[in-house]
Amino acid sequence: MYLIRRVYEVKPGLARKVASLVQRQGDIYTAAGQRSKVLVYFNGGTVPGHNNRVYMEWTDETIESPMREGLELPKEALQIGANVRELIEDQYIEFFEMMIPAKMQEE
């Protein structure tokens, strides 16, 4: 099981707007059966930590290429992605392997 986190470094003052857009985008992917339920969170400068950041994360059993054969991405999600790119300075994706009982090691 994996945790996948997309990180957006947004233009100043736009964190809440970008968070709203990527929440909609994630919900579209979830409704299409292409992603588990997403969690979106952001810091627009009102709490300690990295300012002007938006995070979207979800879990999946496998890591698959977004260019895999037969995958049809929802057009609405792609349009939201294009809109988001206008509001950000950078983005990247992180992958984490989740601890589950089957992976536990004895002391």
- Domains, in order of start, for the chain: 2-63+72-100 (3.30.70.100)
Query: So what's the pLDDT on residue 46?
Result: 86
Query: Under a CB-based contact definition with an 8 Å cutoff, are residues 55 and 38 in contact?
Result: no
Please state the separation of Cα 104 from the chain's center in Å. Answer: 27
Query: Under a CB-based contact definition with an 8 Å cutoff, are residues 52 and 14 in contact?
Result: yes
Q: The pTM is what?
A: 0.90
Q: Looking at the predicted structure, is the pLDDT value of residue 86 above 90?
A: yes
Percent of the chain with pLDDT over 90: 85
pLDDT per position as a tens digit, 13-41: 999 999 999 999 999 999 999 999 999 99
